[in-house]
Every structure is written in C-alpha cells, then in structure tokens.
Amino acid sequence: MDTRSVNDGSNTSLAMRAWQIRRNALLMGEVQGQGYIGQALGIADVLAVSYFHALAYRAQDPEWEGRDRFLLSIGHYAIALYAALIEAGVLPEDEIETYGMDGSRMPMSGMAAYSPGMEITGGSLGHGLGIAVGMCLGLKRKRNPAFVYNLLSDGELGEGSTWEAVMSAVQHKLDNLIAIVDFNDQQADGKSTAALCAEPIEEKWAAFGWFAQRVDGNDIPALVAAFDAARTHAEPRPRAIICQTKMCKGVPFLEDREITHFVRVEPEEWAKARGILDADKPA
C-alpha cells in the first residue's frame, strides 16, 4: 500500500511543517554563517505542501519503487530540501550541525550520491526538467503510476534546454510530470525579470500545451488547491505550478535586504532571526 506523508497519523498542520522547515534551514545556515537562506525561507511553504500533502514516499525507504520523485533542479536550494527531508524523517535531525562540512551527507549543493532523498545532482541550471521528462517516460514504460515533481527556478526559464523539455513533455503527453517554478524574481546580481523577462509566464506554459496554474507560493491553502488540481487534472498533458514566493519569508529584516540570493548573516543576527520565527510559531 502507498504510504503518504499526509497519512502518517500525525495531526501536525502544514503551517507547522513549513515553520519547522524554516527553522531547520536557519539552524543549518548558522553552521556556515551564510548561504542560500533566502530561497529556503521562501520555498518552505511549497516544500511543506509537497512532502506533507502531495507526495507518496516512505521515509525509511527512500528508494521505494512506488515513490513519487521530487527532483531539485536548482542544486543550490539543497539547504531547503534538506530542511524538508529532516522534517519528513528521511534525514536525521542530529546531522544539521554537519551541513556543508567535509564528509557530510548534506553538502551545500545537492548531490544524489551523498544524500538520501536527493533524486538528482542539480546545480547546472536548466537540466532538471529534461531529466524529469526522462524519468516520466521510464515510469510509464514500467507502468508505474508515480508522479515526478521537478522544482526549478525562474532563472532556469532563461535556459533553452528548459523549453526543449517543456515541448518534449507535451509531445509525449506526460501527465505524470508536475513542474514547480519558484518565481521569486531574484538572481545572483538582481531581479530575474531584469535579466530576461519570462512574462507572461503562466500563459507561456499554457501556450506550449501544459496545464498551468499561477499561485501565491506562501499561501498554504492556495498551494494545496493547486497541487490537488495538478494531480487530478484529467487531460493527458504535463502540469505546471508557478509559485510566486518571497525571498527570506518570515524574517522581515532579511526580507528587506536588496540582495537576497546569497545571504551573509552576522553572528548575532542568527539568534534574532530565530527569535522572530519562534515568536510567529503556529499554534
């Protein structure tokens, strides 16, 4: 029988899951004193809905053949995915202090060979969706009903390989593919939309033949509805959820920084950030 995180017997709310993912990420960031904290805080709600509402997986058996695959195309978001995998019980909480260290199972950029639950080695942007297409084709050949979720960034929409994968997925009618676009409008040196405008983003995906939805990526009920609609859409075509997220969500003094792609946090600021998050802990 499929074991879904949402059916694990826990009454923990999705808001609490997202809060814990943010807290795990802050604890890991403090180990290094810097990192891709902005992305982790921003995408936490999406990851909470993914792992504790949508995905089928077994925490103690990450290689279970019946699992839904969650692909992290954006390898530098690894800190966010580790935070979710720790909350899901795939990775142990006591490894938080090893983040980014030599010999750690949680390197700063995600690598499948190191980390349970990390399906692919991401980081060379624009490759994840193509890999997802291949996985979906393989699952269909094996008559495996699992879904493949691929988390990619708005910056990856500037990569030609992404749009080749978009067209290929439609050609093969991959209704087992769900692309999740983190549209936070932030790249290393400024706004994504200033580098290469992807708008109108929802209409572009739809024009290629995808079932496309655009949603507030920090609104948990809206995310639940979008994920449910993506999974149950009746037409044989791939699905895309464009999630507009806020970098550093939940920690206002970090949200207000002009550059949030790679955040350097002063030693005394980590405790301040945790204090703000703790004060906003869901009931």
Q: What pLDDT is stored for residue 3 in this prediction?
A: 43
Residue 258 burial (CB count, 10 A): 5
DSSP character for 19? H
CA distance 43 to 237: 25
Please state the domain extents for the chain: 13-279
- Largest Cα separation within the chain, whole Å, is 54
> How does DSSP assign 70-110, residue by residue?
EEESSGGGHHHHHHHHHHHTSS-GGGGGGTTSTT-SS-SS-
Q: What pLDDT sits at residue 186?
A: 79
Question: Is there a contact between 160 and 132 (Cβ–Cβ < 8 Å)?
Answer: no
| Closest to 237 (Cα-Cα) out of 147, 178, 173 | 173
| Cis geometry, peptide bond prior to residue 238 (ω within 30 degrees of 0) | no
Terminal-residue alpha carbon distance, the chain? 32
Residue 190 DSSP code:
B
Query: Are the C-beta atoms of residues 161 and 127 closer than 8 Å to each other?
Result: yes
Which stretches of the chain drop beneath a pLDDT of 70?
Answer: 1-10
Give tens-digit pLDDT for 173-212. 999 999 999 998 877 777 777 777 778 999 999 999 999 9
Give the CA dihedral 148, 151, 155, 156, nearest 10 degrees. Answer: -20
Q: What is the pLDDT of residue 189?
A: 72
Interatomic CA distance for residues 11 and 26, integer angstroms? 24
Of 159, 153, 210, the C-alpha closest to 182 is: 153
Residues 174 and 147: their CA atoms lie apart, in Å, by: 10
Asked if residue 148 lies in contact with residue 177, where contact means CB atoms within 8 angstroms, the answer is: yes
Rounded (10°) angle between helices 37-49 and 78-88: 40
From the list 152, 85, 156, the residue with the least C-alpha distance to 114 is 85
Q: Which of 165, 188, 170 is nearest to 73 (CA)?
A: 165
Q: Among all chains, which residue has been given the structure tokens 């949603």?
A: 215
Return d(Cα 244, Cα 220) in angstroms, integer.
Answer: 12
- Is the domain covering 13-279 a CATH 3.40.50.10470 domain? no
**What pLDDT is stored for residue 16 in this prediction?**
97
Grouping H, G, I as helix, E, B as strand and the rest as coil, residue 127 is coil
